[in-house]
A and B are shown apart, each in its own frame.
Chain A
Amino acid sequence: MAQLSMHEPAGGGNPVLDLSKAPLPTAKTLGARRNLWLQFWRFVAFDLRIMRMVIKGHH
C-alpha cells in the first residue's frame, strides 16, 4: 500500500518518520470536526454504515 514515502530518519539516533509531507487540516476542517450540527449527521451516517456492514457481513 506504499504511496507517499514517509520513511526518512530524522536524526536523534532513532529512525523517526518524516511526516512533513503528510497533509495538515485547514481551519475549516478543524471547525467542521467540532461543529455539532455537522457532526450529528456524520454520527448518523457512521451508524448507518455500521448497520450496512453488519448486514453485508452476514452473507
Chain B
Amino acid sequence: MAEVLILGAGVSGHTAALHLRRLLGSQHKVTVVSPNSQWNWIPSNIWVGVGEMAKKDVVFPLAPVYARKKIGFHQAKAVAIRPKGDADDPRGAVDIEYTLPEKAGTTERLRYDYLINATGPKLKFEATEGMGPGGHTESVCTADHAVEANHKLREVIEVLKTGKPQTLVVGTGHGTCTCEGAAFEYVFNVDHELRQAGVRDLARVVYLTNEAALGDFGVDGMVFDQQGFQTTSELWTGSLFRERGVEAIVGTHVHRVEERTIHYETLDGTSHTLEFDFAMLIPPFGGVPLQAYDAEGNDITSELFAPSGFMKVDADYTPKPYEEWRAEDWPTTYAAPGYDNIWAVGIAFAPPHQISKPRKSPNGTVIAPSPPRTGMPSGVMGKTVAMTIADRIKHGTSAAPHTASMARMGAACVASAGTGLTKGSAAAMTMLPVVPDYQRYTTGRDERETRGELGLHGHWVKLMLHYLFLYKAKARLGWQMIPE
C-alpha cells in the first residue's frame, strides 16, 4: 500500500487528488490537507465582487466529495515538511495544524510515500502599508474578500446616485504583483456595473498597474493576428479602455495606502498620490510559509524553498539576464530537486524568473510583474504529477515522469460582465504558450491560438467554464472527460 499526501485543495491539488483516486486502486491511500472546508472556483470571485453572483454560487463543501470518492481529508494547514522523516520513522512526514473548528489548533504528524505541495499563494497584503481588507482597499482573491468588495462597491454606487462624483481604482498593490488579468477582469466588471446603475458619467475609473505597458499581463504582452495584421495586446487593451473611458496608469509600485489616498511611484522614479473612494488592489503573492526539517530536526527550509517561499522544482534557477531567458528554463516534471517523491504544482512552485521584462525605477524600486500561474496550467500540472505518481506506484520507481511545461501550455483569460445570455459582454484572450518561446515562434507564441476578442461569445465561454469546472470539481459523472 502506498500513501499519497496532497497539501492544498485548490485548482491544482484538488485535480491531482481526483485523478490519483481514479488511477489508483483502493488499497492505496490518497489524503488531502487543506485549511478551507470549501472549494472555490476563484475566477468567478470577480462576479461575486460586483454582486452578479453570491458566494454560495462559487464554493461548495469538500468533505462530502472526498467522502464519496474515498479520499482522506484533514481540514488543517500544513506547517512543516520532514522529507526524511524523524527519529521514529524514516518515511517522509508533514506536520499539520487543524483549522476544523472542533479540533482547531491541535497538531498531528502525517506520514507519506509521495507528497504534492499545491498550497497556492500567500496573499501578502502586508507588503504594502494600508493595503487589503484589514486596511483601506478591497480584494477579490477569496470569495469572502469578494463579498466585502461588493458591499463597498454598492456603497459607492449609492453615493454616485446622489450626484456626488466618486473615484474607483482597480489594479495591483505592489510592483511585484502577478494576476493582472484578474484586475483587468474586475475593472471591466466595475465599469459595467456603473453603467447598469446609470452612474458611469459621475465615476472616474482608474486602472493602476505594475505592468510597464497596458496588455502586458505579466506575460510580456501578446501579439495577436487581427484580420491578417499583427496587433498587440497593448493596443487591444488601450482600445477597450478608451471605449469604456477607463483611465490607465502603468508601471506603478504602490508604497502606501491611507484612507482614500494611494501613494505610488512610477517607473520614471516620480512619486504621485491618487485620491479614491473605492479601491480593489491585488496583493503580491508569496509561497505559503512552510518549514522543512531533516531527520535530526535541523532546518532545511532554504534547501526546499526559494526565498519567495515557493518550492524549488526542476527549473533552471541560474540567475541570467532577460535576453538569455529560455523556454527550457521552465520546469516540466515539478519534482523537488534531490527528492524523487516530492512535487510542487500550481502557484506553489518557484518559477525560474519572471516572464515580463523586470524593471527598476531610478530610485531602485523593483517594478516587475511576477509570472502568472493560471487555472489551466495549474490543473494540468496537478494531473501530470498525479499520473507520474500513479505510474511509479503501479510500475516501480523507474517509471518515466509525465511532463507539462508552461512553455508548452496555453492559458485563457476571459473578462466577462453582465447577466443572462444576451446582456453580457466580454473581452477574451487566449495564449499559447504562456511562456513565450522565441526559438519556436517569431512572435514568441502560436499566432493561430493567441488571440484577443470582444463580444457576447466570451460571456458564454466564461459562464460555460464556471458550470463545467464546478461540475468537474464536484467529481460528478464523467468529470474526467472535462479537460483541465
Give residues in A with beta carbon < 8 Å to B: 1-4, 6-7, 10, 13-17, 19-25, 32-34, 36, 38-40, 42-43, 46-47, 49-54, 56-59
* Docked-complex contact B248 and A19, CB < 8 angstroms: yes
Q: Restricting to B238-289, which residues have a CB under 8 Å from any CB of A?
A: 238-239, 241-243, 247-250, 266, 268, 270, 272-274
* CA gap between A47 and B383 in the complex, in Å: 21
Contacts of B464 in A (CB 8 A): 47
Q: Is B454 an interface residue (CB 8 A)?
A: yes
Partner of B422, one of A25, A36, A51: A36
A-contact 0/1 string along B375-387, CB 8 Å cutoff: 0110010000000
Docked pose: A42 CA to B461 CA in angstroms = 10
Q: What are the 5 closest A-B residue pairs judged by CB atoms, nearest first? A: A22-B238, A53-B410, A1-B221, A57-B409, A43-B457
Which of B238, B273, B377, B453 interacts with A46 by CB under 8 Å? B453
Q: Contact partner of A33 among B248, B273, B456, CB < 8 A?
A: B456
Query: What range describes how many residues of B lie at the interface?
Result: 35 or more
Residues of B within 8 A of A33 (CB): 425, 454-456
Closest approach, in angstroms, between the C-beta of A8 and any C-beta of chain B? 11
The answer to whether B159 has its CB under 8 Å from any CB of chain A is: no
Given contacts A13-B272, A54-B483, A57-B410, contact A2 B213 (CB under 8 A): yes
Contacts A51-B483, A53-B449, A57-B404 known; A20 to B234 CB distance under 8 Å?
no
Contact B232 A17 (CB under 8 A): no
22 contacts between A and B (CB under 8 A): A1-B216, A1-B232, A3-B235, A4-B232, A6-B213, A10-B247, A16-B247, A16-B248, A17-B250, A19-B238, A22-B235, A23-B235, A23-B239, A25-B454, A33-B425, A33-B454, A39-B455, A40-B457, A42-B455, A53-B410, A57-B408, A59-B408
Given contacts A13-B272, A17-B214, contact A57 B432 (CB under 8 A): yes
The residue of chain A having its C-beta at the shortest distance from the C-beta of B410 within the complex is: A53
A31 CB to nearest chain B CB (Å): 10
Given A19-B241, A33-B454, does the pair A4, B412 have CB atoms closer than 8 Å?
Answer: no
Is B430 at the interface (CB under 8 A from chain A)? yes
Asked if residues B456 and A39 are in contact (CB atoms below 8 Å), the reply is yes
Contacts of B469 in A (CB 8 A): none
A43 with B249: CB separation less than 8 A: no
On chain B, the residues within 8 Å of A21 by CB distance are 238
A24 adjacent to B408 (CB under 8 Å): no
User: Please, which residue of chain A has its CB at the minimum distance from the CB of B215?
Assistant: A1
- Docked Cα-Cα span, A29 to B214, in Å, equals 22
CB neighbors of A among B448-467 (8 A): 449, 451, 453-458, 460-461, 464
Q: Are A50 and B412 in touch, CB under 8 angstroms?
A: yes
- B241 adjacent to A32 (CB under 8 Å): no
Cα(A24)–Cα(B238), bound, Å: 9
Nearest CB of B to A38, in Å: 8
A10, A22, A57, A58 — which one has the most chain B CB atoms within 10 A of its CB? A57
Contact B242 A20 (CB under 8 A): yes
The one of B213, B243, B377, B422 in contact with A24, judged by C-beta atoms closer than 8 angstroms, is: B243
Besides A15-B266, A36-B422, 19 new A-B residue pairs in contact (Cβ under 8 A), listed by A number: A1-B233, A14-B249, A16-B247, A17-B250, A19-B241, A19-B242, A23-B239, A24-B242, A33-B425, A33-B456, A43-B460, A46-B428, A54-B483, A57-B377, A57-B380, A57-B432, A58-B380, A58-B404, A59-B408
Residue B433 at the A interface, CB < 8 A? yes
- CB-nearest residue of chain B to A23: B239
Please name the residue on chain B nearest to A33 by beta carbon. B455
Interface: B180 (CB within 8 A): no
Contact residues of B between 426 and 484, Cβ < 8 Å to A: 428, 430, 432-433, 446, 449, 451, 453-458, 460-461, 464, 483-484
The chain A residue sitting closest to B274, CB to CB, is A14
Decide if B141 is an interface residue (CB 8 Å cutoff). no
The answer on a CB contact under 8 Å between A2 and B234 is yes
Contact at B243–A25, with CB atoms within 8 Å?
yes
Contact among A16, A20, A56 with B410 in the assembled complex (CB-CB below 8 Å): A56
Do residues B409 and A17 form an inter-chain contact, with CB atoms below 8 A? no
Judge if B223 is at the interface, Cβ distance under 8 Å: yes
Taking CB atoms, residues of chain B closer than 8 Å to A7 are 213, 250
Complex CA distance for A48 and B449, rounded to whole angstroms:
10
Complex: A47 Cα to B425 Cα, angstroms:
17
Instruction: Say yes or no: A34 contacts B484, CB within 8 Å.
Output: no
Q: How far is the CA of A13 from the CA of B262 in the complex (A)?
A: 13
Residues in chain B near residue A15, CB distance under 8 A: 249, 266, 268, 270, 272
B232 near A25: Cβ-Cβ < 8 Å: no
